[in-house]
Structure 1
Amino acid sequence: MTARKPLIRCREIGEPDLDAVADLLTRGFPRRSRAYWATGLHRQTTRPAPEGYPRYGYLLENDGAAVGVLLLIYSNRGTPAQPQIWCNLSSWYVEPSFRNYATMLTRIAQRLPEVTYINISAARQTWPIIEAQGFRPYCHGLFFSVPAMSFAGRGAQVEQVAADAQALDGLPPSEADLLIRHARYGCLSIVVRSKHGPVPLVLQQLRVRQGRFALPAMQLIYCRGTSDYVACAGAVGRFLLPRGRVSVVVDADGPIAGLYGVYTERRGRKYIKGPEPGRLGDLSDTELPVYGS
């Protein structure tokens, strides 16, 4: 009697799959707790997402059992009338005995020509593989800034955005919604107000590991442009100091003029594929704020 071949298939993740997805990711990433994955998946359930695209990503099944997962985070960075659909290829894991089928996940996840795909957490050993898939680096490193040493932003006031805010003076509704949404994710959303106008920023707590030590810092998640952050860095730094945060980490391709700090390419490379160019300083609605650092 001939043994039956296992039924392997790849399909969209649905809400009933979330417990199995959290279990699978906990096995694949033992440094992350199950609560970490459950919290992030809940945020994906409740966050706004473009209609017609996967809300969670794709699941690899073997006879109905989850053996692989690729999380996707879709967002519209345009308008309803002129959408710009972006997709963050987030956490990926396939059980070792099914790694031969892993390409099923990556192929189906990158098949839409109108979508701009980004990978913001690629491990160094995977760079050649990612580039072979058509991705190109749009960010080569990180700048560890010390904003309190800057004189920029003197006299400016820093307003923290509450998670239950409804609107923000001086900001367009779409940008106000972004700041409020990220405050609900647990990020620090602020508006720096000066005579030059409001500057919206989103930052997230980050622990930078150096050997056995972890240094508290903030990751810049959103700004209109790096020059906006530079122009108010001193005000931001003085706001953060009493909160025990000295450094703000910024995506960069080299040292940033007007800021004190250190640039490195040992970490921070980010990749993009699709119709839109990458933009430094915009990690909104990606795995960092949705799942946490």
Structure 2
Amino acid sequence: MSSLKSTIRCREITPADLEAVADLLTRGFSGRRRGYWLEGLRRQAAREFPAGYPRLGYMLDHDGTPVGALLLIYSERKSQAQPQIWCNLSSWYVAPAFRNYAPMLTKIAQRLGHVSYVNISAARTTWPIIEAQGFGAYCKGLFLSVPALSHTERRARVEIVSGDSAMIDGLPADEAALLLRHARYRCLSIVVRSERGAIPFVLQPARMRRGLIPLPAMQLVYCRDVADYAACAGAIGWFLAKRAKIAVLIDANGPLPGLVGLYTERRGRKYFKGPRRPRLGDLSDTELVVYGP
């Protein structure tokens, strides 16, 4: 062990490390292929991110070889006071022989007090560890809605936003940019236009797992407020039904008023740590879209 101490260090992941980090994560996550990791890492390396923060995250380097990695996806969100920095802690893995050095990764990744950290894919077995690190659950489960069974607003129509659109009428510039950016991530960005105005949404095909009804489903990635989704659910439901999608998964802490569906806590718990509590209905610029479901 003393020989390892002299050669191992924690450093930022660079674009030159992508192939080796993809190999490491493929070994660590048996359900993911190497192509999934490499494509996601390349997408993360190319995306815009706040200056002064890691582009990709940190790795444990043993003689030039990654033996541990923690991916960090930084984003900046606008507010009335000042920009808010958010960080999605994603895809943590350390090779068994180097597990004693794992705290080096988690400590350096959470050291900034002004950053709001989120973990949206914590396995149930890791919940006690995450909570011991000071994280609290902001989302306890998922609501599987069947939107076509909900109320449809009069004269509501759904408009698809493509990644090469020049502008989106009726939306502020930052929100339009979010929809365009996520369309380029191969999400489904839409605007529902009705008497209430232009209401934006981002959805993505869901990866259904054991414990949930196996319906063809989408995941709600972004909305201004879950109440907006409830108000537009009928129009969205018929739009999705024509594309062979029946259900929409929504982060929730219980059954959602105005929606037909099922609430479960078997999946979907999400954690945060920092000055701002995330709101339900916003998973934009997280691993869910950068890497895929």
User: TM tier, shorter chain?
Assistant: over 0.9
**Partner of residue 216, structure 1:** 216
| CA–CA distance in structure 2, aligned partners of residues 248 and 58 of structure 1 | 34
The answer on 1:229 being equivalent to 2:229 is: yes
Q: TM-score, normalised by structure 2?
A: 0.96
Residue 23 of structure 1: aligned partner? 23
How far apart in 1 are the matches of 2:282 and 2:224? 8
Partner of 1:243, secondary structure, is coil
Does 1:144 pair with 2:144?
yes
The answer to which of 259-268 and 4-13 deviates more is 4-13
Q: Residues 88 and 120 of structure 1 are in contact (CA less than 8 Å); yes or no, is this contact kept in structure 2? A: yes
Shift of 1:214: 4.9
Note the C-alpha offset of 1:213: 8.8
Tell me by how many angstroms 1:216 deviates.
2.0
Q: Deviations over 1:101-122 (max 9, x none)?
A: 0110000000001100000011
CA distance in 2: counterparts of 1:23 and 1:55, whole angstroms: 19
**Is the 2:24–2:66 Cα contact (8 Å) retained in structure 1?**
yes
- Under a length normalisation based on structure 1, what TM-score does the superposition of the two structures give? 0.96
Q: What is the Cα deviation at residue 79 of structure 1?
A: 5.7
**118-127 vs 78-87, which moves further:** 78-87
Question: Is 1:171 aligned to residue 171 of structure 2?
Answer: yes
2:86 matched to 1:86?
A: yes
Aligned residue type for 1:113: G
- Report Cα offsets for 1:196-247 as digits up to 9, x if no partner: 1011000000131237995420000000010000010000000000111100
Hey, what does 2:107 align to over in structure 1? 107
Q: Can you give the 5+ residue segments of structure 2 that lack an aligned partner in the other structure?
A: none
Deviations 1:132-160 (A, max 9, x none): 10101100110000000012334201000
Change (3 A) 1:147 1:63: same
The whole-number CA distance in structure 2 between the counterparts of 1:59 and 1:238 is 45
Residue 212 and residue 239 in structure 1: after superposition, are their counterparts in 2 closer, same or farther (change >3 A)? closer
Shift of 1:266: 0.9
Shift, 1:56, TM fit:
0.3
For 1:15, the aligned partner's letter is P
Whether the aligned pair in 2 keeps the contact of 1:6 and 1:62 (CA below 8 Å) is no
Alignment-derived partner of residue 203 in structure 1: 203
Q: Does 1:44 find its partner at 2:27? A: no
1:250, 1:4 → 2: CA distance? 45
- Structure 1: which 5+ residue stretches go unaligned? none
- Distance, in Å, in 2 between the alignment partners of 1:26 and 1:277 is 32
Give the paired residue count: 292
Counterpart for residue 280 of structure 1: 280
| Larger CA deviation: 3-12 vs 122-131 | 3-12
Which stretch shifts more, 114-123 or 202-211?
202-211
1:194 aligns with 2:194: yes
In structure 2, relative to structure 1, the CA distance for the partners of 1:114 and 1:292 (3 Å cut) is same
2:65 counterpart of 1:65: yes
Alignment check: 8 A CA contact 1:8 1:61 kept: yes
Q: CA 1:3–1:133 in structure 2 vs 1: closer, same or farther (change >3 Å)?
A: closer
Q: Deviations over 1:74-129 (max 9, x none)?
A: 00012698210000000011111101101100000000011000000111111111
